[in-house]
Amino acid sequence: MPALVLMTRQGCCLCEGLAEKLRALEPPLAIELIDVDGDPALQARFGLEVPLLLLRLPDGEQVLPRVPPRLAGTSLRVWLQKHGFSDQDA
């Protein structure tokens, strides 16, 4: 089952906003938050790209396109489904 991961950093208002929108979805999604500044390799890879969602799949990971900042609720869930994360994965 794919895992939804949010690459973030402390003090990033965009990261906090997306995390809040993801937590507010009904039914709730399990998301993993990773602070890229806690690992030099992640900071080098994702530091300027946060907030960034990726799917952890059995055969690797898939970086999702940037989430449009105005998406929330049902529109955000539909966007996630369109990009490979379905309700059955939650």
Q: What is the pLDDT of residues 36-64, one digit of tens each?
A: 999 999 999 998 899 999 999 889 999 99
Buried b (16+ CB within 10 A) or exposed e, 62-89: eebeebeeeebeeebbebbeeeebeeee
The pLDDT of residue 34 is 95
Confidence of residue 90 (pLDDT cuts 50, 70, 90): very low
How far apart, in whole angstroms, are the C-alpha atoms of residue 83 and residue 63? Answer: 10
| Number of domains observed in the structure of the chain | 1
- Domain span at 18: 3-89
The pTM for the full model equals 0.88
Reply yes or no on whether the pLDDT at 78 is more than 60.
yes
CATH code, domain carrying 74: 3.40.30.10
Q: What is the mean pLDDT of residues 28-42?
A: 93
Contacts of 85 by beta carbon, 8 Å cutoff, 6+ apart = 2, 4, 55, 64
